Amino acid sequence: MEPFPSDRIQLPRNMIENSMFEEEPDVVDLAKEPCLHPLEPDEVEYEPRSSRLLVRGLGEHEMDDDEEDYESSAKLLGMSFMNRSSGLQNNMSVYRQNPNGSCSVPSTRTMVVCTVVFVIAFSLIIVIYLLPKCTFTKEGCHKKNHTMELIYPLATNGKVFPWAKIRLPPDVIPLHYDLVLQPNLTTLKFSGSVKIVVNILHVTRKIVLHSSGLNITKATITSAQGHQAEPVEFLEYPLHDQIALMAPEALLAGQNYTVNMEYSSNLSDTYYGFYKISYKDENSKQRWFAATQFEPLAARSAFPCFDEPSFKATFLIKIKRDEKLSTLSNMPKKATTPVTNGVVQDEFFVSLKMSTYLVAFVVADLKNISRETNGTLVSVYAIPQHVNQVGYALDTAVKLLEFYQKYFLMKYPLEKLDLVAIPDFQSGAMENWGLITFRETTLLFDNNTSSAKDKKLVTAVIAHELAHQWFGNLVTMEWWNDLWLNEGFATFMEYFAMEEVFPELHSDEDFLNLIFKAMMKDSLNSSHPVSSAVQSSEQIEEMFDTLSYIKGASLLLMLKHYLTKDVFQAGIEVYLHNHNYRTAQSDDLWDSMNEITNGTLDVKKMMKTWIVHKGFPLVTVVRKGKIISVQQEKFLYRVEPENWTSDASYLWHIPLTYITNRCNFTHCTNAYLLDQKSAVIELPEEVEWIKFNVDMNGYYIVHYAEDWKILIDLLKKNHTALSPKDRANLINNIFNLARLGRESLEKAFELIDYLNKENCTAPLTQALFQLSLIYNLLDKKGEQQLAGRVMHRIEHLLGDKIDQQHWTDDGTLSERELRSTLLAFACTHDIRNCRTTATEMFETWMKSNGTISLPSDVMKAIFAVGAKSNDGWEFLLKMYSSSVSEAEKSKMIKALASTEDARKLIWLMQNSLEGEIIRSQELSHIIATVSQSLPGYLLAWDFVKENWEKLTRKFHLGSYTIQNIISWSTSQFATKTHLLEVKSFFESKSEESSQLRCVKEAIDTIQLNIQWMDRNLAKLQELL
């Protein structure tokens, strides 16, 4: 899937280990009743409080959390517990009772024993009282978020639900699904039936699978030999989206059974599951469109299934639909048969073996164009008024499909590949096998209104999703902790394929900028390893982040350059061949590479240091004559030292690369594997300068100590001695080191003084990015005068370059993209005569009622300036509603969000959330734009606070959209007041919200902003 751009589940404190209750008469001990509850002993674990634990006396009374803990723990000792105000009552009598009712004094020995027992018991109770975050089990005191065994939860009907884990039991596996669906685009409901052939691995009486929001009306089971379907008891446990079918007799190992269920539900009004979309046709009439988005956990909301990546199966799909509409699914259509008047049924061929999250279907009025290549029919679909914008996507998809088949030495396994533009779609795209779904802006290309950047976006997203047909679909990660195997690989192949097939797009520059941004996130303490343990739905959603995509891809890029491209390619071929139609873990990839290196390099040992560690290394280089000393440490922004993880254990195996003045071309690159904390490299001769991390192909930052001055002089005298990517790399590194406090801000500004001679996109955009960070912080902090001086410095460096730009679409794609970036920046900040020219062009366009064509590369700048006037803003909104070009509409919405009118900004965000006039898919982009401006950044945060519940219902907690909304709406804050406000807001929400990793990242970022201002405000006053 293409995003549009403690690791364990948090457990309540009242969880008690089941086996500790063996002598408690008020607890149902399931382990002692196997005949009633056929459960395996390893199936028990923690359940949240809301699951209604089967412990009588707990959860039934009004108690606060601590009191629940104390009572639970006290029961482990067989004692009563009174609340704190009433104290403890001692029920242990030291007197024996005679048969006649009188008491006799016990012996001294008995008194001593009882006293000792009492002291021990009392001490334990005091410990429990003082350590409320611990729960005692046989193993001792466990922190609340450690996994422990527990009793089973209750189903919705009050009966015991026979499974307590989030992951499904391994004793039943699906082999095949027969799925029949009938969506109704008038009532916006759907009905369905599913037959699942399952194989039993271990004798059991239960089949546990997933279902979410489905009204299941019938459930039966049939054995392989049986001729009659037998009704089964049916239990639901919504907290885990699980259902259990309780068989009337034992299900035997090695046997196949068929589960049959009938159900109904509503088409979803979110972006998940089987969801509905409204759009206007050519006649402005409202039409409905139904599509699916199942990754990661939403197939279960369209049909009952084993909704985990490792449960691969084949699928036979039939869809009943209005005869005026069309349907698409993963496989080619096999037959269409009449059902009733006006309703027909489409049957699709049986699929290949695949995971449930890759199943897809679309029901809509669509048009398409097609072309065959190498036995595969490639088609691009869109709603009728957009079908004239799909030509570029078809050409691109055919070229990329041919490239991938040659590179992987493995044919695309399906007879067809459909690419469908969905009118309202949260992600950039989704790689469903044989039926890839896209946001319209990532698939449609209009020759009149699509810019050079738009062409790169469409190309990149198609390249990403086609790569998934092998990495993700053919070979799938076993569990979501290794999502990077899917997304990191697809991102790596996306940029690699673009370089090979479309070199004129210079996609490597875009990838470089993405790596820089990923490293910003990865340098925070709230970062996470690329491969991280996940269980809850929020944790799984949060894995779809910059690190899984960009860091994962960066590590593969680094490995490819170190192994050489031929060895890397051979390793990929082995990986795909060894694991096709199955699942894989990270180690499987490294093992495949090791088959090719054949002992010359232990790839697994090297790459594990990058996969299991969060963050990245800082390599310090000290040069003395021919001797180069290198030392590694963890690069980490430290705010609160007592809370940060020690980096003493962090040791990466870093494939260092370097060039020198003796030979500074790519073929002269030298390599050295730094697998210790420090090492010494001896050069054959002394050199004038040395540059490490050639072309930023390694995922690390370099500090040159005394040599920064030499590199600064090199850029001033002969900047082309280094490649554009190397120059961008130096700019990025020195500003990050200044932020870390390891280099001075003065030296960073000195390094970019050469920029007035720079003509390449990568270093210019990186410098602009770094200076914009500083400007935005000062601007939002109220330091407008100082912010103005930063902008003056930018104008001094780039003013001539801005003046040289033409307001046309002429030049190479790289030149056009740079023009778009520079003019948009200049118009936003009113540099030179940008706004004058843009205003003239906007007014001419407005007078023509939008009929004349504007140059697509500068359209964004023109619209942004036009939107600053009330008339211009209103006209843009009108044109947005009537435009058929999604590329044009995208530029319009960003311009509308750049107004300084607070009322318009609030209206824009609110209407996007409602999704009527402006689609909800645009909301995160609107908030991002609003957050950048001085009038808007507080409004954006207020909007998020006021609409948090609506936002998380629409986009799901932890989703990429929610991550972006939180990040953008808080990233400009640099005061302790705002820090406290953000902390307090999320702490006031659910535990799931407050524990989101993106919330922790937001807090880290604000703290770093505060720290940066404290360190550098006075220095900037002197420097500027």
pLDDT value at 150 more than 80:
no
Give residue 140's pLDDT.
37
* Rounded distance between C-alpha atoms, residue 295 and residue 1018, angstroms: 49
Tokens of 123: 């001490």
- State pLDDT tens for residues 285-328: 999 999 999 999 999 999 999 999 999 999 999 999 999 999 99
Average pLDDT, the chain: 87
pLDDT band at 122 (very low <50, low <70, confident <90, very high): low
- State pLDDT tens for residues 449-465: 999 999 999 999 999 99
Q: Which of 308, 465, 487, 817 is catalytic?
A: 465
Q: How far is CA 169 from CA 210, 296, 488, 991, in A?
A: 11, 19, 29, 27
- State pLDDT tens for residues 658-704: 999 987 665 678 999 999 999 999 999 999 999 999 999 999 999 99
pLDDT band at 524 (very low <50, low <70, confident <90, very high): very high
- State pLDDT tens for residues 812-853: 998 999 999 999 999 999 999 999 999 999 999 999 999 999
pLDDT value at 893 more than 70:
yes
- pLDDT (average), residues 52-60: 32
- State pLDDT tens for residues 591-646: 999 999 998 999 999 999 999 999 999 999 999 999 999 999 999 987 554 444 55
Longest dimension (CA), the chain: 111
Give residue 637's pLDDT.
87
* Rounded distance between C-alpha atoms, residue 6 and residue 966, angstroms: 20
- pLDDT (average), residues 736-749: 94
**CB contact at 8 A, 507 and 497:** no
CA nearest to 152, candidates 36, 311, 289, 284: 36
pLDDT value at 398 more than 80:
yes
**CB contact at 8 A, 929 and 940:** no
Give residue 4's pLDDT.
59
Catalytic: 688? no
pLDDT band at 738 (very low <50, low <70, confident <90, very high): very high
Tokens of 98: 């005679």
- pLDDT (average), residues 903-910: 97
pLDDT value at 196 more than 80:
yes
pLDDT value at 24 more than 50:
no
pLDDT value at 26 more than 50:
no
Q: What is the rounded (10 degree) CA torsion for 494, 497, 499, 502?
A: -100
* 962 CB-contact burial (10 Å; exposed 0-12 / middle 13-18 / buried 19+): buried
- State pLDDT tens for residues 467-507: 999 999 999 999 999 999 999 999 999 999 999 999 999 99
Please give the share of the chain, as a percent, with pLDDT higher than 90: 79
Give residue 2's pLDDT.
76
- State pLDDT tens for residues 224-246: 777 788 999 999 999 999 999 99
pLDDT value at 129 more than 60:
no
What strands lie across the sheet with 627-635, from one edge to the other?
Answer: 678-682, 627-635, 616-624, 701-703
Residue with tokens 């390094």: 751
Tokens of 119: 């002291």
- State pLDDT tens for residues 706-724: 999 999 999 999 999 999 9
- pLDDT (average), residues 241-256: 95
- State pLDDT tens for residues 29-48: 323 333 333 333 333 333 33
Give residue 312's pLDDT.
98
3-state SS of 704-756? CHHHHHHHHHHHHHHHHHCCHHHHHHHHHHHHHHHHHCCCCHHHHHHHHHHHH
Please count the other Cβ atoms lying within 10 Å of the Cβ belonging to residue 754. Answer: 21
* Rounded distance between C-alpha atoms, residue 822 and residue 860, angstroms: 11
pLDDT value at 52 more than 50:
no
Give residue 854's pLDDT.
95
- State pLDDT tens for residues 973-1013: 999 999 999 999 999 998 888 899 999 999 999 999 999 99
pLDDT band at 257 (very low <50, low <70, confident <90, very high): very high
Give residue 274's pLDDT.
98
Angle at 656 between CA 654 and CA 659, to 5 degrees: 170
Give residue 663's pLDDT.
79
pLDDT value at 98 more than 60:
no
Q: Of residues 958 and 94, which shows the higher confidence score?
A: 958
